[in-house]
Structure 1
């Protein structure tokens, strides 16, 4: 566990003496020097890899280098985490991303390719106990059911091609990971919690898109056309189900003292409300004024909730 303290202030207030101050400061100096050395070596490794890629431009070369870096990062993290922890993390992240990109390129972004990426990231995350890789693994799984984000011409896009499948899949994964976290040791419980939280976001994204467009169920993953006559599950069904799910889950989270979940669900509740609000009433000076007042009210309510419940679980 990492704790941030101001040792100068503690010394001035007399809460620690000079000897304790010097001792704590020496620890910080050692950590800073080790961090700088780790980062310097990491930059050297990355530069060497980029040079090798430039000399041997090939997806197979990138895959081999990525797997080698990932293996090296895992080895460092499991055997020399205290001295070379930062180097191991950087090696693993760079290697995993390099290998993942190569796999997706070699498989042309197929479902099988994303499943391989999911497995690769999940294994790396478990072996090194890194939540970032578990989050990437969860996002890779979402791509197998058509979830993605895009950017083009100063515009950002969130794409959920199969809203119902996304909601069902990640509802099951999220709850499963949550209950599994309570049966795992402290070293691994946070990994399951990361998967659960990422799944919560994906479930709400699925509801969000479904509440706007509905779901045709049979639309193929490679089809970009939209035809309202093909809609099987209407948008109002997703809107209603989303509202019920948000309210029910928020009540459960409040009773379980899960502050992070309460805050996240409140934000998505506001997104749901404003989506339906502007879809129905449109944008005008009056609706914008009301929306602004409501947004400030929600922010104040959340702030008071967090301040009056400081011991809630995150």
Structure 2
């Protein structure tokens, strides 16, 4: 490969947002994107939401030629939905954006500048933050190799998955950036084959970053770009479902990329560890879901 992906700033940006009962934050996400000034189209692809929000948004923005909604008849998962939206996108640049991310114009322009002007750029992420402005460690981390996970788990000295210290305040090379917001040239996405559709939800961003790097492009964190990320509007309604697919994704990533997976005994231990961890989390997730329902009922009253 290995020419630099340097799209011209005047090219069209295709923004892809996947929804699945994402709630009212989706409305704000769409409004923020359509309030930005770069030349763009916004494709909202819906994974069989039952909340009626995508349809309401479609009516609200019916007069805006930059916006359209694609409806899937079933929940296909995150990566498969993105791939289907990209197949219908017209842009030379892509922005994959979570429905609970609130992107402002200055941040978008800066991300496009980094993606346009940096040699060998393959994918650019941002620092995603909660409402208090606290950065999510997932914005800038290393591949979750087994040896790194064990270093963190047992408190050993050495290289873990998370990168210690403050978030960078400038553009840096990264192994992994948050899948909540990813900007990349269309040619890069097409070259690596888009998202691996054998992931349903979670870890497909780790996979994409790895394959972009393997293909010879750079994964970058724009540390000077901070974006509000609401963290999981749809996942709160079905925590066990989401957790199951997260653990399933962890197992797939391990088998694809971790050298430790070549050892059958090690792989068996990892498999048991992943699914034991999932089972241990289920009771707390069910209790949390029940509390959320009760809180919702009291608010309605």
The normalised TM-score by structure 2 is 0.29
Specify which structure has the higher proportion of strand.
Answer: 2
Higher relative contact order (CA closer than 8 Å, sequence separation 6+): 2
Specify which structure has the higher proportion of helix.
Answer: 1
Find the structure with the greater CA-based Rg. 1
